[in-house]
Amino acid sequence: MHIASYDDDRIGVVVDDQIVDVTDLVPGPRAKWPPVGMVQFIAAFADDLSPVREAAERGARRPLSEVTLRTPVQWPNKLLAYPANYTDHITEMSSTYNARIKGFFLKAASSLTGPAGPIVVPDLPGCSIHHEAELAIIVGRGGRHIAREDAYQHIFGYACLLDITVRGDQERVMRKSFDTFTPVGPWIVTSDEIEAPDQLDMVLTVNGEVRQSANTRDLLLDIPGMIEMASSAVTLQPGDVIATGTPAGVGPIVPGDVIDIRIPGVGEMTVPVIQGPAVRNIAFGASA
Ligand code: MN
């Protein structure tokens, strides 16, 4: 199934070019804020999607074009990311480490944005801002100390993800955490539909030109390895998002660019880049 967040924290199942509202499958009152509906939904159905499947079959459908898709998990407990997880990207960055020995880092969850973006790039004179195409893992059943043999039982699904990054020596967390720097979408494809997550093609274009093209078989730390490593340190929670690393071909983006990421079997996002305001931040050398 393709499970999407849309409009005002609604949850829907996308069937072709239509969507069925399944928000009310999660019982109980719902706060307007924070938008944690999808986290509760994943916690409720991580181990058995059949109620969702039944509701999607009998529910009223409306055109997908009538709704606004949001980032699938708007308020996850954690947004984790693995650096340097494809050899060709390590080579292009002249990195001296990789994900297997470095482990993961965190991005601010507030950097998440929807599949239509836009990516708002700050005005940071002299700084290069790069695209990174990645497969996102969406955690289903949570847990700590998950063995790699059990890892796939903890994966709810997959999505496309862009890890937008200011290059520089500043803390990685700050360089990667600007608002809108993590578009995810267009929906979560549940893991039962992805027969071979370790053999997914991924293509990123900028203004129609191919910049990144890869396959998840080339991940250095593979998907079970990422779940095992993350959960050795932190308790994974339902709805946690894991960015799995980017292959070679990263490059600068500027306002006016249109970025497209496509993972056949998962989905496609087309995201415009627009100019944001100047950043008053002495870490980036701006004057106060
Ligand atoms: Mn990345």
- Backbone angles phi and psi of 223, in degrees to 5: -60, -50
DSSP 143: B
259-277 pLDDT, tens digit per residue, is 999 999 999 999 999 999 8
The pLDDT score that the predictor gives to residue 44 is: 97
CA of 134 to the centre of ligand 1 (A): 7
Distance between Cα 137 and ligand 1 center (Å): 13
CA dihedral 100, 131, 177, 145 (to 10 degrees): -30
Q: How far is the CA of 244 from the centre of ligand 1 (A)?
A: 7
Whole-angstrom distance, CA of residue 181 vs CA of residue 187: 17
pLDDT for the residue numbered 278: 86
Compute, in angstroms, the gap from residue 81 CA to the centroid of ligand 1: 6
Ligand 1 centre distance from Cα of residue 191 (Å): 22
Residue 286 confidence (pLDDT)? 55
At residue 288, the pLDDT reads 43
pTM as predicted? 0.97
Among the listed residues 152, 149, 148, 175, the one whose alpha carbon sits nearest the alpha carbon of residue 164? 175
CA 42 / ligand 1 centre spacing (Å): 24
Cβ contacts of residue 21 below 8 Å, gap of 6+?
A: 10, 11, 12, 59, 60, 62
Residue 259 Cα to ligand 1 middle (Å): 16
DSSP label of 32: S
CA distances from 173 to 75, 95, 109, 154, 217 (A): 18, 18, 11, 26, 27
Q: How far is the CA of 82 from the centre of ligand 1 (A)?
A: 6
Report the amino acid identity of residue 246: T
What is the torsional sign of CA 179, 140, 271, 117? Answer: negative
Pairwise CA distance, residues 101 & 52, whole Å: 39
Can you list the residues of the chain whose pLDDT is less than 50? 288
Q: What pLDDT does residue 246 have?
A: 94
160: β partners: 135, 185
pLDDT at 125: 83
CB 25 within 8 A of CB 55: yes
Q: Residue 163 C-alpha to ligand 1 middle, in angstroms? A: 5
